[in-house]
Each structure stands twice: as C-alpha cells, then as structure tokens.
Amino acid sequence: MKEKNRNGNVIKNLCWLIILALFLTGGAFSLSNCSGSPVSETETETETGENTERLDSGGEEETSTGGEETPTEPEEPEVIISTDILPYNKLNIDSNSIVGISQSSKANAADLTFDDIKALIIEAVELAGGLGDIVKDGQTVVLKPNLVSKFDFCLPGWRGRQHAVENNGVVTDWRVTRAVAQIVRELNPTGKIYVMEGSAADTLDVMEALNYTKSHMPEVDEFYALEKDSGEWQDKNSDGLVKVVYENALLHKEYYLNKKFYEADVVINIPTLKNHWDAVVTGNVKNIAIGATPGNIYGNGRNDPGRNNMVDHGTPNFHKWMADFYSCRPADFVITEGLQGIENGPTPSFDLSGVSRVEDAQKNMRVIMASKDGLAIDIVQTNIINWDIDSVQYLQYLIEAGNVGNGNSKNITVLGKKVDEIRSDFAGVIPGAGGRKLTKKTPPSLAIESAAFDGQNLKLKLDISDDTDKLDIYIDGIYAGSVNENMTDISFSAMAFDSGTRDIIIYSYDKYMNCAEANIKADKADGKITLGLYDYAAPFAETAPVTDGSGADSAWAKAEWRPIDQEWLGNIPSPDVFSGRYKIVWTEDRLYYLVEITDNYISTTRADRPLFEVYNDDCLELFINEDNLGGDHERSHNAFAYHLSFGGENVVDLNTKGEAALFNDHINYIVKRTENTDLYTWEVEMKIFDKTFDEDNPGNNTPVKLSEGKVMGFAAAYCDADETNSRERFIGSVDIPGENKNVAWQNADVFAKLYLVK
C-alpha cells in the first residue's frame, strides 16, 4: 500500500511539473471558455467602464485571472447529511402548483417607480398563495438575487461597460430585492434577513456597484459574499460549510454548501428573466445551482470566485451538476424579476452574439413572477421566452426525479397574466449541450358544446383536441379551478357563486402553455354556499381512495390542501419541528382524510396502554359532528373526538361515562413515514355515526349514508409530544376564540363546517 501511494505521488508531482513547464515556456497566455472565446488575463477599466472580466460559457461568472493554485487535500469533515433521497427538502407541493404573474400597464420598464415594483411583487406573491405560511417571525430568511457581474460584455474582446443600477435586466434590480425585504420584514419583525450571493468576481464589490448595501436596503441585516463567508480557499473543514452527501445524485455524491444558506429557515430566490448560452434558461434552479456554490471551494482560484472550472459547462455534466446541487437546498419561494428580461443571456455579448449594447437585448417585459414551486416557475419561464422545455436537460432531470416541485404542466396553473399574453421570442445561441427554440406555437382547439348548472355543480361538455393538457375554468372572471383528466364531460363545483346568469370562460392549454379560449353563459338557479375561513368543501370521490398511506389515488387531486396551524395549546413551532395539512373526500359510505404531518420527534410511550392519556403521546385527532348542530359532547355522541395513535391500530374517544374507550370499528387508517424525513402521511377511512349511536349495543348501529349537500361539523388537530413525552402543543385546523382554546373535545360549537359537494 505504501509503494502504491508513493508511485501515485510521483505521477502527481510529474503532472504538476509538466503544467508548470508549459506555463513557463508559453509565457502569459489566455484561457478559452467552452465555446472557444478567449479570456484576457488582465483586467482594465477605461472611462466607459471597459473591462476584460469574462463570464464563463454558462455559469454567469466572470473570470479574472488571479493566479491558479494547487488545491490542498485537507481532511474530510464529518458528513452532515446522508440520505438516499433528498438531503434537504422542506417543500410541500400541492397537487396543483400556482405561478402568479403580474405585469405593469405602464408602457416602459424604465418608467416603473419603486412603489410600482412593490405593487407588482405583492400582486404576484398573493396570486401564488402568499408568504404568510412560509415566513414567520423570528426566522432567518435568505434573499438570493442574481448578481452575475457589474459589467456587461458588449464590447469586442469580452470587454464591457458597467451596468446601470436599475432596469438593466442582467442582474436583479436592487429595488426588487428591497421590496421583497420589506414584505418579509412585515412578517418577520424580529428575525434576520440576509442577502447572499456568489458573483463571478468579488461579490461585495459587485454588490456595492449595484446598490446592494445597507444604505439602500436598511431592512437587510447582513450582506454576505458566499466565497468569503464559507471559509478560506479550499478549506473544506470550515465552520462556514456543510457537506451534503447525496446518494442518488447524478454527478457527484458530495456537495459543499454555505452553512448559513443551507440552514436558513427560508430561502427566497430572486432570479431574473433571461435565457442562457449553456443552460438554455437561467431562472430559479440555476440561480442556486451555480450562483449559490461557495467560490472558496468551487472557484477558479484564491482570488477568483468564478466557477468556470468546477464542471464542464458545455456538456451534460453541467446539467447534472445543477440538478444535484439545487436538490441539496431548494428554494422555499421564488420571485422572478422580469422588469426588462434579457435575450442573448445570461448577459449580452459582442463576441458570442454580436450585441454591442445591453439595451438592444432588453425585452421590456415589465413582469414579476412568483411561486412556492421552484420547478414550476422555471417551466413557465421557459415557455414565456419560447425555448423548448423538453430540451432543458437539468429541468428534465428534476422533472424525472419529482422531488423539488411539479414538473408536469398538467399540474401547473398560471394566475394573473397568461403565458400567451406576455410570451416573447428570446434570441440566443444554441447551447452545445442541448437546447432548442420552441416551434410548437399553435394552441389546442376548444369548443363548448353545452354548459348548464345542476344544483351547485357546473356541467360542461367540451370538444377538445388531443394535444390538450389541461383546462382552467373561470366563472364571472374568477378562477374556479382546473381540470386535467376526463376533460370532455366535466362536473365542476360552483357553490361559491350566486344564482343568476353567469359568464363561463374556459381556457385550454397544451404542454407548452399555448392557450385557446371559449366562453358561454349559463343560468344558475340556486344561491351560493359561502364558505367560512375554516370551512371545507369536500369533493365526491368517484372511486374511493385505497387506505394505504400513499395518497396516490386520483380522488385526492380534486381536494384542496388546508393547513393545521391554529394554536390550541402551547405555541406554533418552526415548520421543521411541526407542520400539518389535510384533505377530505367522500363516498356514499365513508369520509376519507389525507393528512400530512411533519414532526421531528415522535412520542409513543403509551402505545401499549392505548386508553391511558392517549393525548399525551403524538396522535392525530379528528372531530366530527354529523348534524352540524354543535353543542356539548363530552359525555355523549352528539359529536366524536377520535384520537388516532401512531401504531395505526387504536382509535380512542370518551364514552358516555366520561371514560376513554376504543372505537376501532369506526375508523380504518394507516400512517407511513417518508423515508429519511420527518414527514408522516396519514390516510384515514371514517364511518359516520349520528348522535343516536348506542355504545352498549354496537351491532345495532348503522353508519349514516352521505350525500351531496350534507353539512357536518368538523375539525382536525394534532397532539404534539416531544422530549417530555407529554403533550406540549395542541394544534388545530380552526381558530377557537377566547383564552381557553382547548375546548373542542367538549364543545362542538367551535367546529367548522364540512360541505359535501360534487
């Protein structure tokens, strides 16, 4: 073994001697990027801000030369995360992901004021579902803009001028980031807000040039350059790093991430709207997968944080890298800055695309996009700039993996501006590792054969073409929902709409979001049902879900996720400690619940004593009041408060004597943990009994038949017991007024309404 190591060292030393000899004999030389364009070794600035820094051929990084150094081989640090799925993923992506798009009515992006920009952001964020369930007070929130460079490359020889600080389109406009910081600060007054970036040159210098400073953004606590905050050059033992071991990665099994970035409670990514000469499109994923890599580990040299050399940008390995690295730490929310939008991106180049002024590549989009789903927003962006999503390899890798968001356009709904309303051809070179312009621009055909209201349901018969991917239904201009299967004969709930003549608009989309529109009027005779804030409309399941803990049945796609987030006892912890949400569907014979609980500590100390203080172990609690009349139920069956233990066996409630009793024949359920995570999926099948239930003669009880229009009282809650092995928190689905909120087990008056609809 010693001889083998000695020989290896000799070979290694010879290699370095050869490289040194070539350098000495060749004198000062220029590097070439993947597309063969030279990069000058010196950097100069003239009166016009000319420089010779060069973006790598796909990484949005400049390459100043700073002498390259032989990397050392330090001892490997302790592995922080090791898993066979995703090392880091806090996303809870709904079956239908929303992308919100707002666009200014002003004619020119240059006319937008800060107030205009903030209003656009608020509109897009609200369309996407808001930040209220993501950002909480006391958290650390990282804002990740795209600050590739302070220069463009619109002069020959990869030289350029310094960017205007506003509306240049290449980098994230500082006003957008400040507006996001203000919105976050309103939700998080006592927490920390960091701006973190890894530019292609000295990041702090780039930030200074682009108004990313405390004086311009007083809401931000700190501005961090990733190459400096992550430790010294090639110090993989740095306290500023974490090493993620990703067993199912496509390229490498280990990746290094900045510790503050990785461990932040919330990462809000703020990329720009542009294409890319290697990656095809540069949006959310790439802004993290390249821009969040620590330059001290992956940079070109000690004084050069550009990441040209960490992976060959002109090959499929570049796309594998991006898919891997993004999966290690996905964004929690994305706000895409498209005030200008840039073609021939990631920054216009004279040598590569013949663009001599940044202004000639600006698209005047006047757009802000937002989504909780970082993969969905990149798919939408790719369609907006008219590049073929099927040709973007790193997005295809993530779509296939299915771990960081919805990759199926059938499950992506765009609210606000439609893709076709803002779609524009973004010019750019064809990347060497794939990428092609979108050629399919004809929308699917659509015709409404009939539309009629049947009670609370809107029934539609449509004639559609085979390339139809999904339908969006609007009633009186209000988005009512989407359909992506059985699209010719539709029954759709319209209970939220009043009686009268209603305007029905159907939008049909193909997979590239080309859109066709048809409209019709229909008369609704019945009045609407008004849902309260915590009420729920449970859709009918044509086929009952299989109670197996997977939540994979198609019946669940019709139901809406609702949170379990109301404080009944204790306080609401951070999402990694606890979070919960639920869905409900029904058949004639059963009520079905799908509940997802994230809990970092599971207490089952009373598993062998199911009737002893079941509420002091972790358990799911489901409340149901069959006639929705409320009232006391502590010692009656006016309502039930079922406690479901983690074992998947025991269901406990009080009997009429006030004693804990088993009601296992009322409920069948299973609990499954997603491997190597703290996510537990509960799938529950419940028989419904009314107040006449006779516990002394169980054979005489017949479950209630369920039907459309039935209203019941309900609530869902979770007893959370941590290290004390007793209930520390009780978190419910409805807000209970008053100081004493732990009353649902006694009083059905506090329940919300559960509507059964078709």
Q: pLDDT (tens digit, 9 = 90+) per residue, 211-266?
A: 999 999 999 999 999 999 999 999 999 999 999 988 889 999 999 999 999 999 99
CA-closest candidate to residue 60, choices 150, 126, 195, 173: 150
**Cα 112 versus chain centre, distance:** 28
C-beta pairs of 651-658 under 8 Å, 24+ apart in sequence? 652/610, 652/611, 652/614, 654/745, 655/695, 656/695, 658/634
For tokens 């510790």, what's the residue? 259
CA distance 549 to 541: 17
Which pairing describes strands 640-645 and 192-197: parallel, antiparallel, or unpaired? unpaired
Whether 469 contacts 511, CB under 8 Å: yes
606, 611, 612, 614: CA torsion to nearest 10:
60
Q: Which stretches of 387-535 are DSSP H helices?
A: 393-401, 419-422
CA distance 675 to 205: 43
CA distance 110 to 169: 11
Give every residue of the chain whose pLDDT is below 70, as ranges.
1-95
List CB contacts of 291: < 8 A, sequence separation 6 or more: 60, 144, 146, 148, 197, 198, 199
Whole-number pLDDT of residue 179 = 98
User: Model's pTM, two decimal places?
Assistant: 0.77
CA-closest candidate to residue 470, choices 478, 399, 556, 479: 479
The CA-atom distances, in angstroms, between 633 and each of 211, 291, 614 are 62, 57, 18
Tokens of 345: 């991106």
CA-closest candidate to residue 147, choices 108, 104, 177, 186: 177
- DSSP character string of 632-700: B-TTSSSSEEEEEETTSS-EEEE-TTS-EEE-TTTEEEEEEEPTTSSEEEEEEEE----TT--TT-GGG
CA distance 738 to 744: 13
Whole-number pLDDT of residue 413 = 96
CA-closest candidate to residue 712, choices 584, 533, 542: 584
For tokens 């050629």, what's the residue? 439
HSE, CB side, 13 Å, CA atoms: give it for residue 642.
27
Tokens of 604: 């089952």
Strand-pairing partners, residue 585, are 592
501 three-class SS: strand
For tokens 């909480």, what's the residue? 136
The 3-class SS string of 324-336 reads: HHHHHCCCCEEEE
Whether 744 contacts 569, CB under 8 Å: no
- N-term to C-term CA, the chain: 72
Whether 414 contacts 422, CB under 8 Å: no
The CA-atom distances, in angstroms, between 166 and each of 53, 151, 174, 291, 552 are 21, 13, 7, 20, 47
Task: Give per-residue pLDDT as tens, 553-606.
Answer: 989 988 999 999 999 999 888 888 999 999 999 999 999 999 999 999 999 888
Backbone angles phi, psi at 623, to 5 degrees: -105, 135
Tokens of 508: 């049909």
